Structure 1
Amino acid sequence: MTPPSGSELLQALECMGRPRVLVLGDVMIDDYVFGRVERISPEAPIAVLNVEREEQRPGGAGSVVGMLRRLGAAVRLLAVTGDDAAGDLLASLLARQGVELDGLVRDPARPTTRKTRMIAHDQQVLRVDRERAAPLGAELEKTLIERLAAALDGVDVVLVSDYAKGLVTPGLLAALRTEADRRGIGWIVDPARGRDYALYRGASAITPNRAETAEASGERPADRASWERIGRRFVETLELECALLTLDRDGIFCVPRDGEPLHVPTEPRQVYDVTGAGDMVLATIGLARAAGLDWAVAAELANVAAGIEIRRIGVAPVSREEIAAEIRSRGEPEAHKIISLEAFVGGPLEELRRSGKRVVFTNGCFDLLHVGHVKMLQFARAQGEHLVVGLNSDRSVRQLKGPGRPILAEQDRARMLAAIGAVDHVIVFDEPTPLALIEAIVPDVLVKASDYEGRPVVGRSIVEAAGGQVVLAPLVGGVSTTRIVERLQQVERGAAQAARRAAQALYAQVERAAEGRVGERREETP
C-alpha cells in the first residue's frame, strides 16, 4: 500500500459525509474521580485522595459511540445493560449524545458494568471495577439476534467492541456474519484479550493492540518482520480483508489481503493517558471505511486521531477538525496549538474543565512580536495551567490600527505565538474585541497589560460573574510595536537619505567626468 499524502488525508476528511455506523459491544459507565494527593493515610501506607469533583461517561463500546458522534457519524447501538440505576444513567448519557437506542436491552440478571478511575495530578492512582463478566443467557442472545436485523438496515459499517463482558457470543457473531455478508456490509472488530480469535473469522478487519497481538499469535511483535508475519497469519486464518496491528509507540501496521503492508509510524508526543486510544482507532477506521475510504487512509487517520487522544486525560472524543489541524501541523510540532474557537470549546476546553485546570485568556494583535509580548505571555501563563491567546485577524488589525497594519500576516503571527512555550492555544478572531471568545470560553483568569489600569476591560463582567478574576500584567518599559515601527521608519528614511546623497555625489562625479571628456575633445579639434 502507498502512504497517502497530507492533502489526500485532508480531502478524505472533507468528503466523508455523515455515514451510518452500528456499534455492537460491551457498554459500561466510566466513573472519573478527580482530586489531589497531599498526604499518606495513617491507617495504611496508601495515598489519600482529596476528592474535588466526579463525572460519568459512557465507556467500553459506549466510548466508541461517543467518538463516532464527535466525528460526525450517525450511530446505532446494540448492547446490554443491567436493569438498575446505573443502566438508567448509562441510557441517559447515550441518549444525550444522539445515539439510536432501539438495540439497547436491559438484563435484570446482571449489573451494569462500571469502572471507576481515581485521578490525581493528571495520573490514575487506582481503578475499581464493578461487573459480572458472563456470557448472555440463551433468551437474551435470541433477543439481540432478533434486533440485529433491524439494526443493520441502512448502516454502512458495523464495529464490534469486545471487552469480554459477555455480549459478544459465538451465536451473535454468527448471526452478524451471515446478515452482514448477505447485505454486503463490512464489520470490524476490536478484539478482547484472552479470546479465541476464531470467534472473529470472516470479519473485514481486526485491530488488536500489542499485548493482544502477542497473546493471540503466540509471537512477540518485536519488529517489522514479525509484524508482517503475524498480520499475514491473521488475514489467512481468519479470512480478513485486513489486519491492523496497533503497536502503541510503533504506530499501526496494516496488512491487507491484497497488496503490500503499510507501517504508519507515530510522531513523538507527550503522553498523558492511553485510555481510549484503542477505541479511537476503531472509531476512526470504522468512520473511514463507512465513507468508502481505503485501508491505508483509514489507518493514517486513525493514527493521527489516537495521537491526539493520548494527550488528554481519560476518554476524550476527537473531532474531524482537530484531526485536520494535526495533519496540517506535520513538520511544525507546535502548529496544533492554532485552533478555531468551535474546535477549542468542543474539545480541549471540555477536557480542561473535566480535569479542573485553571484556564487563562489574553488577547492582542502581537504584530512584530517583541520581548514585552513574551514577558506578558509568561506572566499570563503563570496565573493558571492553560493559556489561550486570542489573536486579532488581519482584517481586525486594520480596523484597529489603520491600513498600514498588520506588518505580519495573521498566519505568521499565530505561528510565532504557538512557538512560545508559555502559550497553549492560539485562536484567531475577526472582531475588533475578543468578547465572543470570552463569552464562549469563560476563562478563570483574564489577563491584560497594566496600561488598562482604570480603563474598561472587555469581558471583565463575564469572567467575574463566573467567579474568575482580571489580572493586569506589568509592562516592559520602552518596548512596543509602535516604537519598533517608528524606529524602522527612521532607519528607512535615513537609508533613503543616504542613498539620495550617494546618488547625487555619483551624478556630480559623472557630470564632471563628462565635462572633462568634452574639453579634451575640443582641444583635439583643429
Structure 2
Amino acid sequence: MNERELLRVLDGLARPRVLIVGDLILDRYVDGEVSRISPEAPIPILAARSTEDRLGGACNVAANLRAMEAAVEILGVVGKDQIGMELLSLMRGIGIQTEGCVVDAERPTIEKTRMISGVHQILRVDWEKAHPIPAPIETGLLAKIDERVATAHAVILSDYGKGVLTRRVCQAVIAAARRARVPVLVDPKGSDYTRYAGATLVTPNRKEAEQAIGRRLASFDDLPDAARELMRIASLDCAVITLGGDGIYYLDANGGADRVPTQARKVFDVTGAGDTVIANLALGLGAGLELGVAVRLANHAAGIVVGRLGAASVTRAELRAALGERLTQRSKLLTQETLATALAEWRSEGRKIVFTNGCFDVLHAGHVQYLREARSQGDVLVVGVNDDASVRRLKGAARPVNAIDDRMYVLGALEMVDGVIAFPEDTPLRLVQEVTPNVLVKGEDWADKGVVGREWVEQHGGRVHLAHLLPGRSTTSILERAGQPPGAAGIARPNC
C-alpha cells in the first residue's frame, strides 16, 4: 500500500473509542548543561535550567490516541500523592477519561525523572514500588472492567511490569473484550505470555520476542516462526514484532505476513516509540482496518515520533503531512512503468515536457541553476540519471561518489524537478525517444558536440535548448578540494 492509498485511508479513518489498562507513569525531564565534573566524585554536574512533566507508560499510549483524535479512557492505579494528582490532571487536560483509575494510598505514583544535557540523557531516577497491586486494589480495578470494555471499539493492555496487570486483571480484560467482540492488543513485558492468553495480538520488540520464545532472531527469516510461536504460546489471532530500524513484522490470522520497512528519516530518541505503534494499531483496528494497513499507518507514525525528544505523540495533521511529503517525494522517483503513466497524464493536461540528463553525482549550485533554467522551458521537467554502472564506465572506478538511489532522492527533493528516472546505457537516446520531450535541454558546452537525441526530438516537433553554465562550479573542483585525485573526477559538466 503506497502513501496515496494511506492518505485516503487516513482521511476516512473513524475516531473509535479505545480503553487502555496498564501502568500509569509520570515522566519528568530536567534539562540543563554539563560543563564540569564534581569535585566530590567523578560524576558530571548538571546545571539545571528547566523541568517538564509528560505522560509516560500507559498514559503516553493514551496521549498518542488522543493526538489521533480517538476517544480514550484509561484504567490504572495512582498513589494518594501530589504526583498522582498531577498525572490525572495532565490526562484530563487533553480529554482522557480517568474516572476508572484507582487510588492506592500505600503505593506511590510511579515517576521517572530523566536528566538531559543537550540531546543526551545522562541519568534516570525511578520512584516506584514495582510489585503486584494488593488484592483490594485489584478487586476495585476488576469491578470497573466489564462496563468500560462494553463501550470500547478496541482495548490495549499496556504492561510496563509495574504490577497493575496481574494475571487476573489481564484475563478479565481479555475475557470482557472477547465477549464484546472487540480487539485487545497487548504491549507485553517479561517472558510469560500465557498471562495474555486469548488476546488479539501482542507487539513485542525483537529483544522481548526473543525472551518470550527462548531463542535469538538472527535474521528476517526467523520472524515467521517466531510470530507463530508467540501466537501458539498465548493463543493469539495475530502477532506484531517491532524491529527498530528494520521496521515492523506482522503475521495476521489468515497467514498474511509482511515486514514493513522503517519510515524514520532521523532517529533522535526511541523513548515511547512502542507506545506510538500500539496506539495507532488500536486506532486502526478499532476503526475496522485490516492489520496490514494499520501496521503501515503505525509505522509512519513511529517514524515521526523517534525524531523527537522523550515520550511524544503524533497528530493526524502531522501524520497526514508526513505521508503527503513522502508521496510528493516518491511520486517523483519514476520507474519505466510509472514514467509512461506520468507522461500520459501530463500530456492529457496539455503540459509542455522538458527533458535533461546527467550523472548528478555531487550536486552543487551549477546543477541547481541549470535545472531551474531547464524547468523554465516548459511545464514539467524530467531528469534522466546515469545508473552507477554507466557512471563508472564514463567516469572511472572511483565514481560515482553517491549511489543512484541517493542521487535520485536528492534530485527529487528539488522543487523544479517533476520526475527522476535512472537509465543504464552510456547515452540517454533510448530514454529521449521514450519521453519524446517538447524541449531537450543540455549545457551550452554541448553546442559543437552534437546533442544526443536532437534529431529525434526535432523530428517530433520539439526543440533543443542549451542552458547557461555557472562559472567556477564543477564536480571536479569539489572532489579536488575534498582530497580526491583530480583524475578520479573525470570530465565534469554542470549536468554530470
Regarding TM over 0.5, the answer is yes
**Against the structure 1 CA distance between its residues 41 and 140, is the aligned structure 2 distance closer, same or farther, given a 3 Å change threshold?**
same
The structure whose Rg is larger is 1
Corresponding position of 1:283: 279
Q: 2:38 aligns with which of 24, 41, 65?
A: 41
- Deviation of 1:257 after TM superposition, in Å, equals 2.5
1:75 to 72, 75, 90: 72
Partner amino acid for 1:285? L
Q: Distance in 1 between matches of 2:85 and 2:203?
A: 31
> Which amino acid letter does the alignment assign opposite residue 215 of structure 2?
E
Does residue 224 of structure 1 match 2:220?
A: yes
Secondary structure of the 1:330 match is helix
Per-residue Cα deviation, 1:205-233 (whole angstroms, up to 9, x for no partner): 10001111111111212212211110011
Maintained 8 Å contact 1:78/1:151: no
Taking the TM superposition and a 5 Å limit, the aligned residue runs for 1:422-437 are none
Q: Given residue 186 of structure 1, which amino acid in structure 2 is its aligned partner?
A: P
Quote the Cα distance in structure 1 between the aligned partners of 2:163 and 2:233.
Answer: 24
For the pair 1:100 / 2:114, whether they are aligned, the reply is no
Q: Is the 8 A contact 2:182 2:286 kept in 1?
A: no
One of 310, 313, 333 as aligned partner of 1:314: 310
* Secondary structure class of the residue paired with 2:163: coil
Distance 1:332 1:218, change over 3 A: farther
Partner of 1:494: none
Could you tell me which of 104, 109, 113 is aligned with 1:112? 109
Matched residue type, 1:315: A
Q: Which amino acid aligns with 2:132?
A: P
- Give the aligned residue type for 1:217: I
Change (3 A) 1:103 1:419: farther
- Judged with a 3 Å threshold, the aligned counterparts in structure 2 of structure 1 residues 259 and 252 are, in CA distance, closer, same or farther, namely same
2:172 matches 1:175:
yes
Deviation at 1:322, TM superposition (A): 1.6
Cα offset, 1:332, TM superposition: 6.3
1:52 is the counterpart of 2:76: no
Supply the distance in 2 between the matched residues of 1:204 and 1:260 (Cα, whole angstroms).
15
Partner SS for 2:236? coil
Structure 2 residue corresponding to 1:87, chosen from 84, 87, 92: 84
In the aligned structure 1, how far is the partner of 2:30 from the partner of 2:329? 32
Letter in 2 for 1:116: T
| CA deviation after TM superposition for structure 1 residue 331, in Å | 6.9
Query: Aligned residue for 1:213?
Result: 209
Following the alignment from structure 2 to structure 1, what is the Cα–Cα distance between the partners of residues 191 and 412? 49
TM-score, structure 2 normalization: 0.66
Q: What CA distance in whole angstroms lies between the structure 1 residues aligned with 2:94 and 2:78?
A: 17
Kindly state the Cα deviation for residue 417 of structure 1 after the two structures are TM-superposed: 13
Distance 1:32 1:150 in 2: 36
Count how many residue pairs are aligned between Structure 1 and Structure 2. Answer: 344
User: Distance between the aligned counterparts of 2:213 and 2:175, measured in 1?
Assistant: 26
Determine helix, strand or coil for the equivalent of 1:58.
Answer: strand
Which residue pairs with 2:141 in the alignment? Answer: 144
Would the alpha carbon gap of residues 325 and 48 (structure 1) be closer, same or farther in structure 2, given more than 3 Å must change? same
The alpha-carbon deviation at position 325 of structure 1 amounts to 2.1
Q: Quick check: 2:150–2:177 contact (8 Å CA) kept in 1?
A: no
For residues 159 and 124 of structure 1, the distance between their equivalents in structure 2, rounded to whole angstroms, comes to 29
Q: Deviations over 1:287-343 (max 9, x none)?
A: 0011100110111111111111110001121012222222223376799xxxxxxxx
Query: Which residue identity does 1:154 align to in structure 2?
Result: T
Per-residue deviation, 1:240: 1.2
Q: State the identity %.
A: 42
5+ residue gaps, structure 1, are: 336-369, 375-406, 410-414, 421-526
Rounded Cα–Cα distance in structure 1 between residues aligned with 2:118 and 2:169: 42
Three-state SS of the structure 1 residue aligned to 2:99 is strand
> Which digits, 9 at most, give the CA deviation of each residue in 1:441-479, with x for residues without a partner?
xxxxxxxxxxxxxxxxxxxxxxxxxxxxxxxxxxxxxxx
Equivalent position of 1:201 in the other structure: 197
Supply the AA of the counterpart residue of 1:77.
I
Distance in 2, Cα, partners of 1:142 & 1:109: 16
Q: 1:245 aligns with which of 228, 241, 246?
A: 241
Counting only pairs closer than 5 Å after superposition, residues 219-368 of structure 1 correspond to structure 2 as 219-267=215-263, 269-330=265-326
Distance 1:240 1:295, change over 3 A: same
- Equivalent residues of 2:76, 2:101 under 8 A apart: yes
Tell me by how many angstroms 1:408 deviates.
9.4
Distance of 2:412 and 2:3 partners within structure 1:
24
Aligned to 1:284, the other structure's residue is in SS state helix
Cα distance in 1 for partners of 2:413, 2:66 equals 29
Which residue does 2:12 correspond to in 1? Answer: 15
SS in 1 for 2:157: strand
Structure 1 residues 175, 267: CA separation in 2 closer, same or farther (over 3 Å shift)? closer
Shift in alpha-carbon separation, 1:218–1:15, aligned structure 2, 3 A: same
CA shift for structure 1 position 182? 1.1
Alpha carbons 1:334, 1:418 under 8 Å: kept? no
Q: Is the Cα–Cα contact under 8 Å of residues 334 and 419 in structure 1 kept in the other structure?
A: no
Q: Is the 8 A contact 1:190 1:208 kept in 2?
A: yes
Tell me the alpha carbon deviations over residues 404-463 of structure 1, each in whole angstroms, 9 at most, x when there is no partner. Answer: xxx999xxxxx999769xxxxxxxxxxxxxxxxxxxxxxxxxxxxxxxxxxxxxxxxxxx
